[in-house]
Structure 1
Amino acid sequence: MDCFTRSFLCAKKYPLELVSPRQSDYLLKENFERLNKEEERLFDQDGKLNVGLLELERGCPSLGFLQVENDTQLQQRLRRSDSQEQCDPLYRAVFFQARSSRDPLSVTRDMFTSVLSHHQVMPVYLDHLFPFGDQENAKDAHFSSFRAENSLSNFLAQQQIPELGRSGLQIQMCYNLRSVEFKKTAHGSPWSIRQAAVYHSFDVKFGRAVWIIIKANSLLRKRIQETASGNRGFKFTNLDTVESAFQASMMQHQVIHEWCTEGWRRYLEHLEEITQEATSDATVAEMEAPTSDREVLLSKFQRSLTFSSLQRQDTGRLSRLAHRSTGFGLRSSRPVLPSTDQAVPLLSLHESKDFESNFNTKFSLKDLQRVQHLVEKVNEVIFVLGMNKHILEKISKYYQSLIKKKDLPDKLKQDCEDAVTEFAEHSDNAISDLAMLESRATALHQLLKERKELLLCVVEHTNMTLNLFLGKEAQKTAIESHKTAIEMKYMAQQMSDVSFRTEQETIFMRIITVVTLLFLPSTFISSLMSTDIVQWPSDSGKPRRVFVPQALGTFFAISAPITFITFPLSYVSHCIEQRRLQQRRQNNQSGQ
């Protein structure tokens, strides 16, 4: 009793202070250090605490449930300071829960280690604790284990505590199982795989049973309470004898085994429906073989290429198709290829539109990612089913070998042999169900692999067809660009010819202007002298000059007004043209 008291008072150092651990000091220290390291992740320090206790006292007709919310209340219950009875109850199940499967347990480390120290739980149970706690992704999701320890001889019975009703002759085991549970959610899949870590010890002399179950929700606790209040061959609460208590323990194993086998069929149906939804179109997708160049040359006529605005439209369509396929658009620049006299097969406008509409219905990388996600889910199902099957086989074989041990009390062996056989049959049925589900999941996995390969072929074929289409469209654009370049070169040559002719005409105009300016004064004088303003009569045979002022006045009277009217009219006409030109420029700018 003194060793136990010291161990319980040093519960914070669990598992270092266990009375008779079956592990080496090195492993005990390693578990203790890991528990220190993972403490913040595993245990909730500030939230609402919740530890469930199911207990059955001797002489009580039913199980009593107590929800512990602080360390003081838990200590009182473990030490039985709130009861006149000092011994442990005949049956005690401790449930550690959490707000969700990815949150810390709703218990402090002191409360957790107090329970484990009080019941001298074997240290290996900590391995089943570490996959729980605060985590973004599943931690240690592939861990699975079944461990058992027997203390059935007086030589090994070092935990005898008569004050607590413990004989030291006991069996211990711990294991973990997983099941799939359905819960409606606004986002994501309603199905999720949940785990449970189970510890069980049974005193083969006094029939006291201890269960410690770590599970996020209260599903298993409610199942056990329902089983205890029902009638499945015998009352679960009839624990007056060691034999009935032993059978009740195996019955609780069955409750947990049923939990780990249910839900998988519906979950596989759900995965099969998603698989058909994601991949069935790939099995009926119409795949056209790429047309060879020879077939194209035989079936297509040579098209004449002209410079038009369709170049921008074709380039935009190419960019949209490339963006759907790869996530990147095409550059707007057009390559210029050397001219060729060969007839190049091109897609017609309606063929391009048909291909674009067909391409929209093809599969993409997102579909492959979805199928890969399904493959991983099915792989997880196969692995979990295999682990559960292995654990159930271990438990069944353990009880079958236990009932044959010579250290087990003879009365217990005789009275419980049939119960163990029935338990083994029940386990075999559960294992058989898991094996069938595993085969079904394996078949689904094979189907997904084949559909994934088919989908990959479809995507590759689509990309190949798209590349062919893009190549032809790019070739079309390049040829049109080359044709445009030739036309632009021809227009530039024409402009050069026009410029040369204009230059020659300008030279001729300058020559004419010089000649005109050269002869203009003499022409003006000659014209003036041919009028009546200046006369050269020759009456006496000798010419003489006669000036007529009246004729000169008439000349200026007519020419001067006309000259003065001509200049203002020219200026007004120039202003009107300038205003029209400015208004036209403003209209062009507003239109852009």
Structure 2
Amino acid sequence: MKAEREYELPVPQADPSTYPKGYAENERLVSTAQMKDYSDALSRAAQDQLCLPDHQQSRLKCFHFKRLESENSNKSSSTLRGRAGSGEAKDADEINITSITQLKEHLEEIHTFAGQQTVLYCFDARNSWSRLQLTEEMIRTILGNYRLNPKFIEILITFGERITATEESFASYYDKIHLSNPFKTVGPSQTVNSDLEGYEIGYILKYAARHNRDRPKDPFVIRQTGVNQICCPQRQLGVWILLHAATGLKDRLRSLFEKFNREPGNLALQIEIHLVIFQYCGEGWRPYIAYLESFAEELTDRGFYSQAISRSEVDSLQAEISDVRELHFLSDKLRRLVQILSLNIHLARQLAKFAERLEASWSSSKLTSPDTNLPMKSLVAGINEQIFSLEVSKSRVDALLDRIKDISVLVRQVLDIRNEASNRSMSMNLREISAAGVEENQHMRMIAAKGAKDTKMVAFITIITAIFLPATFIASIFGTNFFDFDGDTKELVVGTNFWIYFVFAGGITTLIFLGWVIWKIRLLNRLVFYFYRAIHRRGRYPFQRTDEEKGSQSDLG
């Protein structure tokens, strides 16, 4: 039988909205200086697009699963497992909290409710790397009201909007046992149902999921979920916070709540939620690794069956230089997966150790029943199964990474042999081209020599022509009808109409000269017209510099 023990009224605390101020006296938290650092980190993260601005409406989803204890129930004989007794059972309420006033009313209802209850808060975002859909004030109110471990802020700031590389290698885990009524909200009319100590645990878990988008080519993406739980056996109250939980995970939690519809404070429920989270987050690794293996198989086939020298245009199994890039990209992705799986394995082992420590702590209590630690054993067994599954996935990734390294070496060797053969063929072609160039140069020299000889002949002909040109001109004049040779007198007779030659020759020459002068005058008038039009448009001469141009020229000088 458990002895009933009433809690004293708590000492007045600071306003929860000022979290983490006023919590230095809490033994499970860190020092005041560290608390200030965590608070400043939260403020910086809020400014760095972690959550919504204060003027926007929040969207906080809450699952409130509770059961009202009847007045005549035997509380002194109830165990931590919260076995179903007389009382009113109620399904989980889904509450959408959109304002700070609504949140405070909800928190007041939780603290004044006398009975078993489990509260689950979902800090959601629109997509994987967008802002959390609640304001900084609401976050601080929840953290301060439930006195959460400030290390939870380390998990918080890994979420929010991201426009650069994400922190895939980040991991966080913390736990704390020996929490005696961590909420400190039991009033004088409420009694304690158990002497077992409470606990708090938080971690961040990464998993693979399909993104259902056209891009990128890889249909899977690495996502993460943050978890924080506080369990208070004295009040049979469990508080959960899930950061960016998937829709499928929420559906499974609803089914789990329906399973424990009469025992919302059951320890098995609190423990099984961890198992559901790990099982859901572990289901995506197998199809993701299978996809990577099929993708690597294509590269492997091209590496093994590719021809080193001869290449067929219709053969698709040909290694290309792009395959080397794909292999390096795949190797980098596999290394990151190995690290993420190692972090999850380490996290699962820490959770199993925590369950064993909590089981040992509760086993030492004389007021516990023999079946109190059964949920802990179930948790350890389930976590060990998840560790085995994660280790199998990690071994598959390690084996695939080794295969990728080998096929990468083979593809590079094939490409090196092919490049060497291509270089030899190119060298032979270059030698043939060089020989053809030498022969062509010889022909060009012959053509150039022949051209020089022809030039000399043309120059000689030009000189001869220049010598005989005056005589040709005189002969052409005397060959006209204006001159005649009298055979009787043996004299040269000049015609009386010889002036006609000079009239026509001079007239035609004058007309040609006048036409040229008229054309030059019209061209000059057109230039003057364009010149004055430019002056009218610019307000200055085309080649005149403005004051600004003169100033810039003086500055340069």
Residue identity in the other structure for 1:57: K
Instruction: Using the TM superposition, give the Cα deviation of residue 5 of structure 1 relative to its aligned residue in structure 2, in angstroms.
Output: 4.8
Instruction: Using the TM superposition, give the Cα deviation of residue 88 of structure 1 relative to its aligned residue in structure 2, in angstroms.
Output: 7.8
Higher helix proportion: 1
Residue identity in the other structure for 1:34: A
5 Å matches for 1:142-541?
142-151=169-178, 160-163=184-187, 169-188=197-216, 189-215=218-244, 217-230=246-259, 236-239=260-263, 245-288=266-309, 363-405=319-361, 409-412=365-368, 414-504=370-460, 533-534=487-488
Instruction: Using the TM superposition, give the Cα deviation of residue 114 of structure 1 relative to its aligned residue in structure 2, in angstroms.
Output: 1.0
1:98–1:104 Cα contact (<8 Å) kept:
yes
1:368–1:452 Cα contact (<8 Å) kept:
yes
1:98 partner SS? coil
Partners of 1:500 and 1:219 lie apart in 2 by 97
Partners of 1:125 and 1:508 lie apart in 2 by 109
Q: Taking structure 1 as reference, are residues 479 and 15 closer, same or farther at Cα in structure 2, changes over 3 Å only?
A: farther
Which residue in 1 is equivalent to 2:51? 43
Partners of 1:225 and 1:75 lie apart in 2 by 24
2:125–2:133 Cα contact (<8 Å) kept:
yes
Partners of 1:148 and 1:35 lie apart in 2 by 20
Instruction: Using the TM superposition, give the Cα deviation of residue 90 of structure 1 relative to its aligned residue in structure 2, in angstroms.
Output: 1.8
Partners of 1:482 and 1:374 lie apart in 2 by 50
Partners of 2:182 and 2:99 lie apart in 1 by 31
Partners of 2:381 and 2:408 lie apart in 1 by 40
Instruction: Using the TM superposition, give the Cα deviation of residue 48 of structure 1 relative to its aligned residue in structure 2, in angstroms.
Output: 4.7
Aligned partner of 1:94 among 117, 121, 135: 121
Q: Taking structure 1 as reference, are residues 412 and 372 closer, same or farther at Cα in structure 2, changes over 3 Å only?
A: farther
Partners of 2:151 and 2:405 lie apart in 1 by 38
Partners of 1:78 and 1:66 lie apart in 2 by 12
For residues 103-132 of structure 1, the C-alpha deviation after alignment (integer angstroms, 9 at most, x for no partner) is 010011111111111111111111111110
Which residue in 1 is equivalent to 2:62? 53
2:372 partner SS? helix
5 Å matches for 1:114-133?
114-133=141-160
For residues 454-506 of structure 1, the C-alpha deviation after alignment (integer angstroms, 9 at most, x for no partner) is 33333444444444444443443333333322212111111222233444455
Aligned partner of 1:140 among 145, 161, 167: 167
Tell which structure's C-alpha radius of gyration is larger.
1
Q: Taking structure 1 as reference, are residues 25 and 460 closer, same or farther at Cα in structure 2, changes over 3 Å only?
A: farther
Partners of 2:355 and 2:92 lie apart in 1 by 25
Partners of 1:98 and 1:108 lie apart in 2 by 12
Q: Taking structure 1 as reference, are residues 214 and 79 closer, same or farther at Cα in structure 2, changes over 3 Å only?
A: same
Please tell me whether residue 6 in structure 1 is matched to residue 34 in structure 2.
Answer: no
1:403–1:413 Cα contact (<8 Å) kept:
no
Instruction: Using the TM superposition, give the Cα deviation of residue 170 of structure 1 relative to its aligned residue in structure 2, in angstroms.
Output: 1.3
| Percent identity over paired residues | 17
2:184 partner SS? coil
Q: Taking structure 1 as reference, are residues 93 and 492 closer, same or farther at Cα in structure 2, changes over 3 Å only?
A: same
Moved more, 263-272 or 508-517: 508-517
Instruction: Using the TM superposition, give the Cα deviation of residue 278 of structure 1 relative to its aligned residue in structure 2, in angstroms.
Output: 3.7
Partners of 2:131 and 2:117 lie apart in 1 by 30
Instruction: Using the TM superposition, give the Cα deviation of residue 159 of structure 1 relative to its aligned residue in structure 2, in angstroms.
Output: 5.5
Q: Taking structure 1 as reference, are residues 482 and 395 closer, same or farther at Cα in structure 2, changes over 3 Å only?
A: same
Residue identity in the other structure for 1:107: L
Residue identity in the other structure for 1:6: Q
Partners of 1:107 and 1:165 lie apart in 2 by 35
Aligned partner of 2:135 among 94, 108, 115: 108
Q: Taking structure 1 as reference, are residues 422 and 483 closer, same or farther at Cα in structure 2, changes over 3 Å only?
A: same
2:134 partner SS? coil
Q: Taking structure 1 as reference, are residues 519 and 184 closer, same or farther at Cα in structure 2, changes over 3 Å only?
A: closer
Partners of 1:402 and 1:38 lie apart in 2 by 34
1:193 partner SS? strand
Residue identity in the other structure for 2:52: D
Moved more, 72-81 or 137-146: 137-146
For residues 204-255 of structure 1, the C-alpha deviation after alignment (integer angstroms, 9 at most, x for no partner) is 333211111111543322210012224xxxxx23327x7xx11111111110
Partners of 2:469 and 2:155 lie apart in 1 by 112
Q: Taking structure 1 as reference, are residues 412 and 257 closer, same or farther at Cα in structure 2, changes over 3 Å only?
A: farther
Instruction: Using the TM superposition, give the Cα deviation of residue 258 of structure 1 relative to its aligned residue in structure 2, in angstroms.
Output: 0.4
Q: Taking structure 1 as reference, are residues 258 and 370 closer, same or farther at Cα in structure 2, changes over 3 Å only?
A: same
Which residue in 1 is equivalent to 2:517? none
2:177 partner SS? strand
Q: Taking structure 1 as reference, are residues 88 and 195 closer, same or farther at Cα in structure 2, changes over 3 Å only?
A: farther
Q: Taking structure 1 as reference, are residues 3 and 461 closer, same or farther at Cα in structure 2, changes over 3 Å only?
A: farther
Please list every run of 5 or more consecutive structure 1 residues that lacks an aligned counterpart in the other structure: 231-235, 290-353, 522-527, 535-546, 565-592
Q: Taking structure 1 as reference, are residues 192 and 246 closer, same or farther at Cα in structure 2, changes over 3 Å only?
A: same
Instruction: Using the TM superposition, give the Cα deviation of residue 144 of structure 1 relative to its aligned residue in structure 2, in angstroms.
Output: 1.5
Q: Taking structure 1 as reference, are residues 407 and 282 closer, same or farther at Cα in structure 2, changes over 3 Å only?
A: closer
Q: Taking structure 1 as reference, are residues 485 and 239 closer, same or farther at Cα in structure 2, changes over 3 Å only?
A: same
1:171–1:202 Cα contact (<8 Å) kept:
yes
1:151–1:157 Cα contact (<8 Å) kept:
no
TM-score normalised by L of structure 2: 0.72
Which residue in 1 is equivalent to 2:542? none
2:24–2:32 Cα contact (<8 Å) kept:
no
Partners of 1:477 and 1:22 lie apart in 2 by 81
Instruction: Using the TM superposition, give the Cα deviation of residue 61 of structure 1 relative to its aligned residue in structure 2, in angstroms.
Output: 3.2
For residues 71-97 of structure 1, the C-alpha deviation after alignment (integer angstroms, 9 at most, x for no partner) is 11111101129x9x4458621111110
Please tell me whether residue 66 in structure 1 is matched to residue 95 in structure 2.
Answer: yes
Residue identity in the other structure for 1:263: G
1:90–1:208 Cα contact (<8 Å) kept:
yes
Instruction: Using the TM superposition, give the Cα deviation of residue 429 of structure 1 relative to its aligned residue in structure 2, in angstroms.
Output: 1.3
TM-score normalised by L of structure 1: 0.68
Which residue in 2 is equivalent to 1:17? 23
Residue identity in the other structure for 1:43: C
Moved more, 46-55 or 261-270: 46-55
Q: Taking structure 1 as reference, are residues 501 and 225 closer, same or farther at Cα in structure 2, changes over 3 Å only?
A: same
How many equivalent residue pairs?
465
Moved more, 501-510 or 376-385: 501-510
Partners of 1:102 and 1:266 lie apart in 2 by 23
2:229 partner SS? strand
Higher strand proportion: 2
Q: Which has the higher contact order (CA 8 A, sep 6+)?
A: 2
1:99–1:217 Cα contact (<8 Å) kept:
no
Partners of 2:107 and 2:473 lie apart in 1 by 132
